[in-house]
Structure 1
């Protein structure tokens, strides 16, 4: 397909993030440069049983050295995960009365189970050709692989979309925070320059702690953390990890930090300490920016954690506002980004840049699976 300049694409994005919550679905209309229309987003949660299987899959994937290998249960997990995405997309289209034939392209993230760009290795479970067959629609998938193969970090990929979304916001410089399992930051300079990198954990370590201690999936509203006491010595020890001194671009695996230091803490103190660590890691990112952002916009599930947002504001000394204040869908922004990136992939437009992933030059990416 040629570049088709001027064409308006109706794109569906499917996103499953490092927090292992479920599948986010959204539809946008775009020409690959501008966000022309955004629809509703929806989340289809994973069952507790499947989430447990994914946790086991994360453990098994840690031994992978071949990004296309699917040993043990990983092959079955990938197939079932893909079927779940097809179901989620079908439910979304039905629920929002959208005819499938009106969708031009689908952006499919898959489930990241291993991310080691230093070894040029990133693994997302998700069978693009199977999804294309199930939906009867063309699917762009494996959007990280080309960047990693070219020496980039393969993450974050949403900055191009963040810049398009923020086109009408006058505050500059500004930062968009995606508070998923891992936190990533997009810095948009006064001239539109992009700098992006993973700052550290966001919700993943907190969620794992709350699940282990209380059997709950997350710390609702940050209430558990608010009731606890932060052990600043533990936070300081984690911050001595070499990742924080490393200049961007850089990206982080979900399980990069050992939570063993909080094993003996109460549930409340452990949650408070982990939340403070996430906030302090974001504050530590300031040293890598040319100037402090005038505004921080928080998206992702972590924006609902009031304790986390308060700690970020306190430790950065800046205002942190939920995405909805700016008419941005904080739940759907990553799924929207994948829809946007799928269109850019089809147009041959860059999706990663030296300032966002460290790749030598701006480049496109993704693999197309045609509907059959």
Structure 2
């Protein structure tokens, strides 16, 4: 067996409910999660980030400051992880930092994706090399820069006999299509995951999310509104495609709700839950009709109402958490582990993108390396 290598993956999604830090050991076998933690954002910084991502308008001074402040928060997460795990920074090969996405615009004529969280700051404050800015090299090669996690999904979840779909439900939902025997036949963002439900429940109840979908369960999905949602052009686009919360935003929801003033708030929440499930199952039915099982990761895996609804819609196709497959990875830590894996790919000079997913013209080594 080869010597073990340790990498750290850092991930903060569109919900900004914390910075996920995962310490991952790599050897000849499956990568192993050896320690993990969720590091909270400071309330002030979280508020400033939420304002930025909600309206996209910011001064260069504010953007530069947020970049540094986010980098410091990422570094704090790493230092806390090392302390809790009882491991020295010298034992870590590199940190893979996704950064905090503040805008994703994969469309011509000048596609771009912007993540902040200065990797120079992380490297300086942790004493560990950092790999960051993963998305833009794929975009330079003609891809959409997203989703990037499918390569990791293939590495850990491919099955010799089963056609699988790996479904990540974060703020945005995305799928990876893994045919039996290896390879990836596709993958893309299906549309909103938790983002619209989170914003609606917070607006109406003050809660940051709908625990187990219980608030949605108290309402009834409104079929005409659901059909209105699903007529949005994004859902009919042919992959490769990707999106973000700058598209499926509070403004998007407000515009779609115009003309439905009398609907109860909980009925709208129930309809949003069905929007997430319907858009996912329609994508699977159309682009992966031979799917044998769906493995779910991300925060949505804990929403019982969402999982039950999706299971009913997919009928005989099992819908299970990644906890319960052979690889047995906690659904909360798949993405952070993926960026540890992507950092390792970069240091070893291996591609990290999947052109069949992103639309890039060829495989590329992702990210920039910021030495310790």
Q: Please say which of residues 262-271 and 129-138 is displaced more in the overlay.
A: 262-271
Partner of 1:174: 164
Deviates more, 1:98-107 or 1:6-15: 6-15
The verdict on how the C-alpha distance between 1:34 and 1:153 changes in structure 2, with shifts beyond 3 A counting, is farther
Give deviations 1:4-54, integer Å, cap 9, x for gaps: xx66421000001112111001111226x8634321322122244332211
Q: How many residues align?
A: 359
Q: Could you tell me which residue of structure 1 aligns to residue 358 of structure 2? A: 357
Deviation string, structure 1 residues 191-230 (Cα, Å, up to 9, x no partner): 3221110011101111111111111110011101111111
> Where does residue 225 of structure 2 map in the other structure?
234
Q: TM-score, normalised by structure 1?
A: 0.91
Secondary structure of 1:35's match?
A: coil
TM-score relative to the length of structure 2: 0.91
Match of 2:128 in 1: 137
Provide structure 1 residue ranges, at least 5 long, that are not aligned to the other structure. 1-5, 65-69
The equivalent residue for 1:187 is 177
Q: 2-side partners of 1:247 and 1:192: how far apart?
A: 23
Structure 2 unmatched ranges of 5 or more: none
What's 1:156 paired with?
Answer: 147
Which residue, 275, 288, 312 being the options, matches 2:273? Answer: 275
Q: Offset at 1:187? A: 0.9
Tell which deviates more after alignment, 138-147 or 77-86.
77-86
Distance 1:108 1:312 in 2: 31
| 2:216 matched residue in structure 1 | 225
Q: What is the alpha-carbon root mean square deviation over aligned residues?
A: 2.0
2:345: which partner in 1? Answer: 344
SS, match of residue 113 in structure 2: strand
Q: Partner of 1:259 in structure 2?
A: 253
SS of 1:177's equivalent in the other structure is strand
Q: Deviations over 1:310-348 (max 9, x none)?
A: 121122222211121121111111000000000101112
Counterpart check, 1:46 vs 2:41: yes
Matches within 5 A, 1:181-330: 181-194=171-184, 195-257=186-248, 258-260=252-254, 261-262=256-257, 264=261, 265-317=263-315, 318-326=317-325, 327-330=328-331
Over residues 94-114 of structure 1, what are the superposed CA-to-partner deviations in whole Å (9 max), with x where a residue is unaligned?
112122211111000100011
1:18 to 2:14 alignment: yes
